[in-house]
C-alpha cells in the first residue's frame, strides 16, 4: 500500500479561509525578506504587565552561553514576599524560530506561575536565520543549566523545574528536555508544550 502524498489531515477550505479572513496575525508562509516585518509585530509590554501589578519582582540576568557563543539573557520573576525554595517554570517564546521576544506571553505565563506559586524564567534565545540550528536550543539548554545550578541564589527548588513553550518555544522546550536527558541533566519535573512546532 502506498502512503498518501501528504499524511496531514485535510482542512476544510471554507473554514480555513473564514478563519484567515478574521485574523491578520496568522503566518501561513514566510519569505526571507518578510522576517523583519514579522519581528516588528512583537509589541513590548509595560512594567505593570510583566510584574502582575507589582506582585512579582522582575530581574534580568546574562548567563554563560554555549561554548564559543555569547551570553544568554534571561528574565526572572519571583513572587514578592515569597519565602523558601519555589518551583520554576521556564518559558520559551514562540515566533517560528525567526521572531518573537523574551517578554512575549509573559503576562499569561506569570498567571500560570502565580497559580502554581512558582518562579518564572524566560529565555532570550538567538533567532534564525542569523543564528541557525542548534543555536536556539543550545541557548535554552545553557540557560536551563544556569537556572538549576544557581537555584539556591534565586530561591528556586531545582527538583521542581518545568520547561514550557508556545509554538516554536514548545518545540525548543521538547528539544531542550531531550538534551537534558541525553546529557545527564538537569532533571525536569515536566514539560508544558503549547501548540509546539515539532
pLDDT tens-digit readout, 35-74: 878 778 766 666 557 888 889 999 999 999 999 999 999 9
- The Cα–Cα gap between 167 and 188 comes to 20
pLDDT at 39: 77
Flag residues of the chain having pLDDT under 50.
none
pLDDT at 70: 97
**Cβ neighbours of residue 102 closer than 8 Å, sequence gap 6 or more:** 73, 75, 93, 122, 123, 124
User: What cell numbers appear for 37 in the block?
Assistant: 516585518
Q: What pLDDT is stored for residue 183 in this prediction?
A: 98
Degrees (nearest 5) of the Cα angle 189, 194, 104? 100
Residue 140 to residue 65: CA distance in whole angstroms: 9
Whether the link from the prior residue into 134 is cis, omega within 30° of 0, is: yes
**CA 62/CA 193 separation, integer angstroms:** 25
Residue 127 in contact with residue 42, Cβ under 8 Å? no
Cell of 8: 496531514
> Model-level pTM?
0.85
> What are phi and psi for residue 165, nearest 5 degrees?
-165, 160
The pLDDT score that the predictor gives to residue 53 is 85
Amino acid at each position: 500500500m502506498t502512503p498518501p502524498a501528504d499524511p496531514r489531515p485535510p482542512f476544510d477550505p471554507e473554514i480555513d479561509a473564514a478563519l484567515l479572513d478574521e485574523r491578520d496575525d496568522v503566518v501561513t508562509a514566510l519569505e526571507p525578506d518578510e522576517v523583519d516585518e514579522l519581528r516588528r509585530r512583537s509589541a513590548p509590554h509595560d512594567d505593570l504587565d510583566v510584574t502582575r501589578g507589582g506582585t512579582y519582582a522582575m530581574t534580568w540576568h546574562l548567563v554563560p552561553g554555549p561554548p564559543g557563543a555569547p551570553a544568554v539573557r534571561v528574565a526572572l520573576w519571583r513572587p514578592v514576599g515569597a519565602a523558601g525554595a519555589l518551583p520554576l517554570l521556564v518559558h520559551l517564546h514562540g515566533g517560528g524560530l525567526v521572531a518573537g521576544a523574551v517578554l512575549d506571553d509573559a503576562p499569561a505565563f506569570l498567571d500560570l506561575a502565580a497559580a502554581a506559586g512558582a518562579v518564572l524564567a524566560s529565555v532570550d534565545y538567538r533567532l534564525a536565520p542569523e543564528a541557525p540550528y542548534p543555536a536556539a536550543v543550545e541557548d535554552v539548554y545553557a540557560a536551563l543549566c544556569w537556572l538549576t545550578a544557581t537555584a539556591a541564589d534565586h530561591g528556586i527548588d531545582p527538583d521542581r523545574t518545568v520547561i514550557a513553550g508556545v509554538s516554536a518555544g514548545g518545540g525548543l522546550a521538547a528539544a531542550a528536555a531531550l538534551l537534558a536527558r541525553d546529557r545527564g541533566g538537569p532533571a525536569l519535573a515536566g514539560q508544558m508544550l503549547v501548540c509546539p512546532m515539532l
